Chains A and B, each alone.
Chain A
Amino acid sequence: MSARDLSTGFLPIVLVVALLALVPLFVTSNTILNFLVFTLIIALAAQGWNLLAGYGGQFSFGHAAFFGTGAYAAAILQVNLGVNAYVAFLVGIGLGALVGFVIGYLSFRSGLKGSYFALVTLAFAEVLRILANSAGFTGGAAGILIPLDVSAWNFQFESRGAYYWVALALVAAVLVLNRAIERARFGAQLVAVRENEAAARALGVDALSVKLKAIALSGAITAAAGGLYAQYFLYLDALIAYGPWISIEALLAPIVGGLGTVFGPLVGALALHGLSEASKLFVGEIPGIDLVIFGAVLILVVAFAPDGVMGVIGRVRRRLGGVSAKTSPASAAAPAPAPAPTREETPA
């Protein structure tokens, strides 16, 4: 295996995932496992965002639209229609892809780009939030509760370790998918569209179709995160499912971790939430402290490491002895720090 394969191949994914899979064997603290499950769910949502924005250059401020769709589909199908939890989860993923396709079709076909596209996605998420908050079948403002009924058949587990492994398996699957996309024609075309859409079209790239595929896939992945969130916390309301907090989480993690890199979302989510948990140990529970930290980290990253943690790691490795550079450091400009959202306490 050449040095290049080491930084662009599947081996690092296998190693990282294997290492993370061992964690529940050594960590028994529910608080820590809870933190890790939540962080993996964020990482999964962020992986969806990263595919569209990091690789495809289409910055969304509204990934809550997908997260919420996956979450509500899981809850509503089980509670109102008695559908099996796994089926509901899969349907949620499909609906996430569909919502992605619809948003993509409406905005990309009319040529929306940059901040216009970002604002349209934000608007979609907000409309869905308002609808979910007022509709009857979503439980309205009171929210929706999935009855506790622990059994593997119901996608409910006794131990947090089991949830951890499920979340890790989903994150791992997307890591592999991402790497495969990087090496496929689709990945090359997606990055080409990000870098220069006119040039890509001149080279035979159907930019609209590439962007639609990317947003559908992105929506499916982030919807999976929403579905998993519903299974884990067993409670949703409109602000949790479709609220701006998750749109911001989904974009912060890849920006901090490394836009358009396979590991960026996971690394970013772990770094951000690790920092905010650590801060609680030192300064105690101050409401909103995590947002302060997120903001500070974002400013530091944008100012000093615009290619994120993965970019820094790559540079250090090159300096230390020339393992060849990874293929495509994304350099798409990071969006301006979003205003701090009022975020519901994370149910735990």
Chain B
Amino acid sequence: MTILRVENVTKRFGGLVAVDDASLSVTPGSITGLIGPNGAGKTTLFTVISGFAAPTTGRVLFEERDITRVEAHERARMGIARTFQIVQPFATLSVVENIAVGAFLRHAARADALEEARRVAAEVGLTPMLDQPAKALTVAGRKRLELARALATGPRLLLLDEVLAGLNPSEIRDMIPVIRAIRARGVTILIVEHVMQAVMSLCDDIYVLAQGKLIAQGPPARIARDPHVVEAYLGHGAAQRLQAKAGQIGEAAHAERA
């Protein structure tokens, strides 16, 4: 059973093949990672999955239904929400109004949409900023707002594109439990992320994209050990560093649970 299936998707921009015959599937209830060096095609693949661009060839299936030709807003209605790597706030609106736009998707009345927006704001830790204009938020605040808006649409599948990029280590530590909690209440997550500690500690399953091609798939421990991946992704000598990191995170996660 899969919630999302990408079948042989290729996306060309003129002569450039941004995504090259990529296939992946996402298990319901999982946090699945999509990693790879800059320019690997991760955002482009998200763009195709969320309906903002059509693939040159290939198919996208959501809950076993072919949605390759379904428009972006329809996909949101079906239960696919995305965040943007480059945050796209409604700049002059307040935080709560930003989130309410998402909440209006499933709540016709303003009062209900605002209530849902406040609930979601609390979930991602934006409650103190509810009435601030979005443009007054810090980078960390804007990333949270991206997440909150997407979450307010009531998705079954959430696509997160580098929501941790630009955050400092303590902000990243704050966000990780938020993402876990979203999954814990049944939302499946596909996450693009450069912050390795986060990927290794969050994901059940990881796909690795390099130059448009999927080069590996597996649980974090295996991916971290896969010399192909490590060389392609981080360059020479990175394998050891990464394994050391994964070890630390494992210990930290244990400590957190205890």
A110 interface hit (Cβ, 8 Å): no
Beta-carbon contact of A191 and B93 below 8 Å: yes
Supposing A204-B76, A328-B97 touch, asked if A183 and B110 sit within 8 A by C-beta, the answer is yes
Q: Report Cα–Cα, A201/B90, bound state, in Å.
A: 12
Which residues 32-87 in B have Cβ within 8 Å of A in the complex?
50, 52, 71-73, 76-77, 81-82, 84
Segment at the interface with A among B98-106, B172-180, B209-217, B224-232:
B98-106
Q: Report Cα–Cα, A185/B100, bound state, in Å.
A: 9
Cβ of A185: which chain B residues have Cβ within 8 Å of it?
A: 104, 108, 110, 113
Beta-carbon contact of B88 and A196 below 8 Å: yes
Q: Indicate the size class of the contact surface on chain A.
A: 20 to 34
Supposing A183-B110, A185-B113 touch, asked if A203 and B88 sit within 8 A by C-beta, the answer is no
Contact with A along B144-170 (1 / 0, CB 8 A): 000001101100000000000000000
Which chain A residue shows the least CB distance to B110?
A183
Chain A interface secondary structure, helix, strand, loop or mixed? helix
B contacts with A, residue count (CB < 8 A): 30
Residue from the list A191, A195, A205 in contact with B73, Cβ < 8 A = A205
Which chain A residue shows the least CB distance to B152?
A203
Beta-carbon contact of B101 and A188 below 8 Å: yes
Which chain B residue shows the least CB distance to A186?
B104
A336 interface hit (Cβ, 8 Å): no
Cβ of B88: which chain A residues have Cβ within 8 Å of it?
A: 196, 198-199, 202
Q: Report Cα–Cα, A159/B105, bound state, in Å.
A: 49
Which chain B residue shows the least CB distance to A332?
B92
A206 interface hit (Cβ, 8 Å): yes
Cβ of B77: which chain A residues have Cβ within 8 Å of it?
A: 204
Beta-carbon contact of B102 and A195 below 8 Å: no
Residue from the list B97, B101, B110, B149 in contact with A184, Cβ < 8 A = B110
Which chain A residue shows the least CB distance to B101?
A192
Beta-carbon contact of B110 and A327 below 8 Å: no
Beta-carbon contact of B104 and A189 below 8 Å: yes
Least CB distance, A55 to chain B, in whole angstroms: 12
Least CB distance, A117 to chain B, in whole angstroms: 20
B141 interface hit (Cβ, 8 Å): no
Cβ of B73: which chain A residues have Cβ within 8 Å of it?
A: 201-202, 204-207
Least CB distance, A246 to chain B, in whole angstroms: 28
Beta-carbon contact of B104 and A188 below 8 Å: yes
A200 interface hit (Cβ, 8 Å): yes
Beta-carbon contact of A204 and B153 below 8 Å: yes
Cβ of A327: which chain B residues have Cβ within 8 Å of it?
A: 94, 97
Q: Can you spell out 16 A-B residue pairs with CB atoms less than 8 angstroms apart?
A: A185-B110, A185-B113, A189-B101, A195-B91, A198-B88, A201-B52, A201-B71, A201-B72, A202-B73, A202-B82, A202-B88, A202-B150, A203-B81, A204-B76, A205-B73, A328-B97
Residues of chain A at the chain B interface (Cβ within 8 Å): 183-185, 188-189, 191-192, 195-196, 198-207, 327-331
Residues of chain B at the chain A interface (Cβ within 8 Å): 50, 52, 71-73, 76-77, 81-82, 84, 88-94, 97, 100-102, 104-105, 108, 110, 113, 149-150, 152-153
